[in-house]
Chain A
Amino acid sequence: MNPLVIAAVWVVLGVTASAVLRRRTARLVTFVPLAGAGLTLLASRSLAPVEPLGGLGAISGLDRAGQGLLVAAAISMALVIALHPSIDVSAARTIGVVGASVTLAMASGDPLLTALALTVAVGALALRWIGQAPGRATLAAGRIAGSGTAALIAASPFLPLSGFTTGARPVVVGGLLVAGVAALLAVYPLGGWAAGVLSVLRPLDVAPWLVLLVPTVLLLAERIPEGVLGDGVPVYEHILLVVGLGSAVWGGFWAVRGPARTRYGRIFMTDIALSIAAVGGTRTSPAVTGALIIVLCHLTLAPILLRPAEAGLMWPRRVAWALLSGVPPSPSFWGRFLLLEALAAGNVDSTIAAVVAMTGIFIATVMACSTRPARVPPAGWRARAPEAGAWLLVAAGIAIGLAPLSVSRFVFGS
Chain B
Amino acid sequence: MGVSAPLLSAVGVIASVVAMMVDGRRAVSIAVVVLAAGMTPTAATFGGAPGVAVLAACAVAAVVFAWAGFVGGRRLPWVAGLDPTIPAFAPPDRLFGPRSVRAFSAAVAVPIASWVSFNIPVGQITTAVQGLLFPTAYAWTCGIIRLLLARTVEDLAVGVAMVSLSTATAWLLRSGSDSLPGAVIACAVTPVAALVAGWLAGRSTRRRPVEAEA
A: which residues have CB within 8 A of B? 55-56, 112-113, 116, 119-120, 123, 126-127, 130-131, 134-136, 138-139, 142-144, 146-147, 150-151, 153-154, 156-158, 162-164, 167-169, 172
Contact = CB atoms under 8 A, between A and B. Distances in A.
A169 B82 CA distance: 41
Contact of A131 (B82, B128, B167, B185): B82
A130 B151 contact: no
Contacts of B192: 120, 123
A182 B78 CA distance: 39
B98 to A, nearest CB: 13
A147 B144 CA distance: 6
A157 B174 contact: yes
A156 B171 CA distance: 8
B181 A157 contact: no
Contact of B160 (A146, A156, A162): A146
B160 A157 contact: no
Contacts, number: 106
B156 A116 contact: no
B43 interface: no
B146 to A, nearest CB: 10
Given A139-B150, A163-B124, A169-B120, A153 B167 contact: yes
A131 B153 CA distance: 10
Contacts of A144: 148
B88 A138 contact: yes
Nearest to B183: A157
Contacts of A146: 147, 156, 159-160
A139 B89 contact: yes
Q: DSSP majority for the A interface?
A: helix
7 contacts: A120-B189, A123-B193, A127-B196, A134-B88, A134-B89, A142-B150, A147-B144
Nearest to A153: B167
Nearest to B186: A112
Contacts of A169: 120-121
Contacts of B120: 158, 168-169, 172
Given A156-B167, A158-B122, A169-B121, A112 B147 contact: no
Q: DSSP majority for the B interface?
A: helix
B136 to A, nearest CB: 9
Interface string B60-74: 000000000000000
B88 A143 contact: no
Nearest to A57: B178
Given A119-B189, A150-B147, A154-B167, A164 B121 contact: yes
B94 to A, nearest CB: 15
B140 interface: yes
A349 B116 CA distance: 35
A56 B119 contact: no
A129 to B, nearest CB: 10
Nearest to B162: A150
B148 A147 contact: yes
A154 B168 CA distance: 10
B88 A172 contact: no
A47 to B, nearest CB: 23
Contact of A123 (B149, B151, B160): B160
A131 B81 contact: yes
B140 A154 contact: yes
A61 to B, nearest CB: 19
Contacts of B147: 142-143, 146-147, 150
Contact of B164 (A153, A157, A162): A153
B208 to A, nearest CB: 16
B27 to A, nearest CB: 15
A146 B192 CA distance: 15
B116 A56 contact: no
A143 B160 CA distance: 10
**A120, A135, A154, A172 interface centre (most CB from chain B within 10 Å):** A154
Contacts of B170: 154, 157
Given A142-B150, A169-B121, A150 B163 contact: yes
A157 B167 contact: yes
B186 A156 contact: yes
B141 to A, nearest CB: 9
Contact of B163 (A55, A112, A134, A154): A154
B51 interface: no
B89 A116 contact: no
A126 B188 CA distance: 19
